[in-house]
A and B are shown apart, each in its own frame.
Chain A
Amino acid sequence: KQEVTQIPAALSVPEGENLVLNCSFTDSAIYNLQWFRQDPGKGLTSLLLIQSSQREQTSGRLNASLDKSSGRSTLYIAASQPGDSATYLCAVGDYKLSFGAGTTVTVRA
């Protein structure tokens, strides 16, 4: 059974600081790894998808890396803004995703 862990559970940073969010998984035979954003009480917005053959993906200020051998992925958010405040979830799998519990980020103005 795939177990996904996200540390820390919560993070508070001043505006402009770079964010580093960690995700670890137990089964390295993954298909895809995805990072999502969730605002309070809302659904999930897909941020980045890394296929198993890829090492990283970038979109604007976001960069995600994948190291299957160590069972880790890291999401970097450059120059954080108050609008980046949300819960960030990572998930692994193909059509059946296994999610971590998320990291709740607060960016202080």
Chain B
Amino acid sequence: QKEVEQNSGPLSVPEGAIASLNCTYSDRGSQSFFWYRQYSGKSPELIMSIYSNGDKEDGRFTAQLNKASQYVSLLIRDSQPSDSATYLCAVNGDDKIIFGKGTRLHILP
């Protein structure tokens, strides 16, 4: 059974600080990695996708992938109250993506 593990939180971060979200996955053969943001009662919204080891930056977001350690992370710089949401780590499986339970992030004004 392929698994994606995340700390459920909540993770509380002061406004303007860096939020760091982490995820591990069990299938060493996984090739595609995603971070989705989900506001309460809404659908998952793609933040970042990453396919290669290293860092990928997009605005205030940086995704980091370490396939040897089976570890994916998301950094959010200059955190804003609007970043308060649940962040879902997802990894490809066979013809599907597998989600973690998500980490609740709370940005403190």
The finding on whether chains A and B are genuine partners in a shared complex, rather than unrelated, reads no
A residues apposed to B, CB below 8 Å:
none
